[in-house]
Structure 1
């Protein structure tokens, strides 16, 4: 992929070498993400953060990543705060707001809407999640986290063993992650969900076509017994026709410390794209896992900052200029634990 000036709409755009390039740049930018160094390489540049669906981590992560490269952020949140509420088309919105921005990060509740917007935009657009379709930057930070977690055990993403658990039908993060895993070798994937919330068949077929072993199951405990990663997802209640329908599945697959101890290998890594549902009738990842050193959910969020910085640096073609605009942070007094 030619990153400079390009949209980042789907992980389908990426080859393995592109993913490795993003990760290499992320590694270089880690001191800036951790505030040990500071750069103004994007000074004067503007990110248009357009989030038409509720978001906390992704919206703030994109904004913080851009700020840490020296740029400024202008936000639109919710349809009611935008001209779309007055009937403006995505085409017109794109033409206008791309005149105010150097790059746009966009989330939309409708699958395909970000690509439609990007087709009219005059600047690069990064997909921050479109309905139940894709979430490419989340998949990249998830894969980056997997790579880092396994590297500490002398392993790589090739031959990964992973269980994905929960709402696999509507969970866009697992859709994008599966597509990225197709770029690697001999991965074992266990898909754990109620039959009604199974992974879309096209994605399962892609995994198998890539030579991966895929098992579909509705039995949690047996499915997490021999894997490197347990990747849990919440029930995507906003995608269901009614709250009552979502409630049929909430709390179906709960992982807590007792289940982890009895059924997982000692170093199995626990991941989740967040937010995890902490309501009593849900708790797909229980709070009693918070002290488990293999709980990587907050390392994921830290890594998201670094990966999104890498995407901005690549798309705006400033990777080789970061150091020219860098200084040491003189107020840095310790370090941020991950």
Structure 2
């Protein structure tokens, strides 16, 4: 498959260990042994969507394959179209689970991944799939500040049922939707206390997902506090710092294991959101928190190309307000990302941070 650039061997070995192999070479040999010299005799498919469905591959191995399919099939230009393979995977049950739902390519929401989601929704009609797909498409439309599009989607999205067993991520994205719409419609007013109380009750009473196998990285939609993360993200992006601090304290009580969870995008962002909330509510002093102490992530680039803009926004909050060059540098980064990915809302947030400093 064509792909620009390559992967560091260290990254490949790390991913292979997540899937239960000693290194990437061992992973390759394990898969090759299944699709070897006589695939027909072995009953082993050679078509990629069918390969993802092979029962002889473990769950971590399928996630790893889905990860690489996502990496090699995403266009290098955020405005590029979805590849034929990506669209075929969106129509295939195994591709839906291990590609569309696991490789959540938010940076391409207003491009190729948005196309993939629309194809996915044509073929997967479960309540959870509808919630997942529509919430993700709403996010892209909201970040693009395409109000006509997200207003049109909103009634259908909010009318979707939320079964008790629904995954924490789409459940949290629905809460994100509610919060950003409430803020958009009354940006100078506090969010309704009743809404925040209801979301807290829903988060506290929602069924907890089973703990993932130790070999699985938490960023494959297995972060234990996924529902809570998306509420925190909405409060951070809309500048609701008092409610954000209260929500983060509630999250920590609900998930004490987060205090020792390292190298996880979602958890490290929650820590960064807390630093910003404490600064903006007078619980800490400017300059008392260094960015190096908040982010220790060296990989996860498929997530960071979207969440990197959140990191820049955190840096804007925590930056020395007398350092005009640093402020300009961060604003320029956010502006470039916003233009490239058709997500002008981020640029709006950055301007508000600077104006309020």
TM-score above 0.5, yes or no: no
* Greater share of residues in strand: 1
Q: TM-score, normalised by structure 1?
A: 0.29
Q: Which has the higher helix share?
A: 2
Structure showing greater relative contact order (alpha-carbon pairs closer than 8 Å, 6 or more residues apart): 1
Structure number with larger C-alpha Rg = 2
